[in-house]
Amino acid sequence: MKLKTILCLSLAVVLALSCLSGCRGAENPAPASDPPATKETQAKSDEPAPAVPLSAVTNAKALGFSAFDNQLVEYLKQAGRADENFTVSPLSFKAALTLAALGAEGETQTQLLEALGFRSVDEMRAWYATVLAGVDSFDAFFTEMEKEAAEFAEYFPDAANSQERTAAYWVVNSVWSNQDLPGEFRQSFLEDIAKSCYAEAYSAKAAELADAVNAWVKEKTKGLIPSILDDASDTSAVLVNALYLKTGWEDGFSKLGDRDFTTRSGEKVQKPFMEQTAHMAYYKDEQTQLVSVPLQGGVSMVFVLGDDTGLAEKLGKAEYRLVDVTVPMIDVETTLNQKELVNYLKLLGCEKMFTDSAEFDPMYTDPLCVADIIQKAKVHTDEEGLEAAAVTAIMMEATAMPDEPETPEIFCADQPFSFYILKDGASPELLFWGQIVE
């Protein structure tokens, strides 16, 4: 698939694994009870995430996506992110866990599947197949556009404007083993993930492993995420998922310059805004106003003012209206490195993978267990499109236009709002969620 960058949504997911001897026993969800961090994790984070009650997850409001997605968003808000700009990629997280689940067995695999919301490995494989089908449909859209452009150029060579494709969307995987530590990936696991997830296998010496993984991540995210590992010399294996998406708005925005944005605290700050007036899906009731702005290739970005509960249902009720959309350009970056993702999984009952009794024998010839999970995510929008990147690291240790003019609806996001970046389909896949509140 030939792909490049205008607007890019990139996601890289990394799972790092080490020997079972370094694994810890089951812990309380509250990270304060964790033993001292390793030299690698301590360098990334000095403060653990605050304790979050289980009810914050189990009582998460329904957004209309999978329970895993809904609960993740609610959990992160309750973990101290509610009053700050942040973004997260549920798809990146789930893709990483899919690789891990394919290499697990017994209770470890059962807990992973239940946390992800799947009843079986086959159901998980079927979900991942829909993700890859979305990649194929995106590519087919632009392939058809290129075909039409070539036909146009054949008849009107002087008017044709031949350009290399700048839109891109891919989901790729790689697994890495440490040549200087005991153990290696089992061939049956490598064959499975190659078939199911298009994963490639690599190995490197201990001193070179982090640099090798970081180079791969940088390439697959077009440099948006330059690195994910600081030191992997004590890491037995690394599993990496990278998702990259780049496309432009169906109808471009116009720059408006800096305007007032009212933060959640009531303070007015200056942000660069942009505007477009076009026909798009629009919904409004007493609590919610939303608009779904289409991007090329079957992707959309939904902006929501007010209550986003039952988002999918509200999108289903949205009408195709002429809308004047005014939104700030987004530039938000989030690092989740305070045990948020580890504790989230534990709250969902996925605990065994973090203990000495973790069951990853189908994956590796030596025992492995998960030590930490980190995600970095970045979203940027401007008048041409959107650019976003996310990296998740899981470390494991030795375990139709109307006839008459319309008056446009007005959607002006000059106050706190949330956003959703979706890959359209029968069941839209949530690529990114985020909020702008300050």
CATH code assigned at 287: 2.30.39.10
d(CA 301, CA 417): 13
Q: Where are the alpha helices (DSSP H) in 311-384?
A: 311-317, 340-347
171 part of a folded domain: yes
150 part of a folded domain: no
Same domain, 48 and 186: yes
103 part of a folded domain: yes
For the chain, give the longest Cα–Cα distance: 73
3 part of a folded domain: no
Of 202, 228, 199, nearest in space to 99 by CA: 199
Same domain, 312 and 206: no
Same domain, 302 and 347: no
pTM as predicted: 0.84
CATH code assigned at 98: 3.30.497.10
Helix (H/G/I), strand (E/B), else coil: 327 = strand
Same domain, 78 and 172: yes
148 part of a folded domain: no
154 part of a folded domain: no
Reading the chain (438 residues) residue by residue, the pLDDT tens digits are 333 333 333 334 445 444 444 565 544 443 333 333 333 333 334 455 666 777 777 777 777 678 899 899 889 988 888 899 998 888 888 998 999 999 999 999 999 999 999 999 999 999 999 999 998 998 998 888 878 777 756 665 654 555 567 788 888 888 888 899 889 999 999 999 999 999 999 999 999 989 998 899 889 888 888 888 888 888 888 888 787 878 889 998 999 999 999 999 999 999 999 999 999 999 999 999 999 999 989 999 999 999 988 888 899 899 999 999 999 999 888 888 888 988 999 999 999 999 989 999 999 999 988 888 877 887 888 899 887 777 777 767 776 444 556 788 998 999 999 988 898 877 888 998 889 899
143 part of a folded domain: no
Same domain, 388 and 412: no
Same domain, 59 and 203: yes
Same domain, 32 and 64: yes
Same domain, 111 and 217: yes
H or E segment and range at residue 54: helix 54-58
Helix (H/G/I), strand (E/B), else coil: 91 = helix
Same domain, 325 and 203: no
155 part of a folded domain: no
Same domain, 169 and 299: no
Angle value at C-alpha 292, between 311 and 282, nearest 5 degrees:
80
- Cα–Cα distances in Å, from 139 out to 2, 135, 170, 217? 9, 6, 9, 22
Same domain, 202 and 241: yes
Q: Label residues 261-282 b or e (16+ Cβ within 10 Å = b).
A: beeeeeeeeebbbbebbbbbbb
Same domain, 169 and 312: no
- Residue 369's domain comprises 9-132+165-248+331-397
Q: How many domains does the chain have?
A: 2
Of 215, 192, 231, nearest in space to 362 by CA: 192
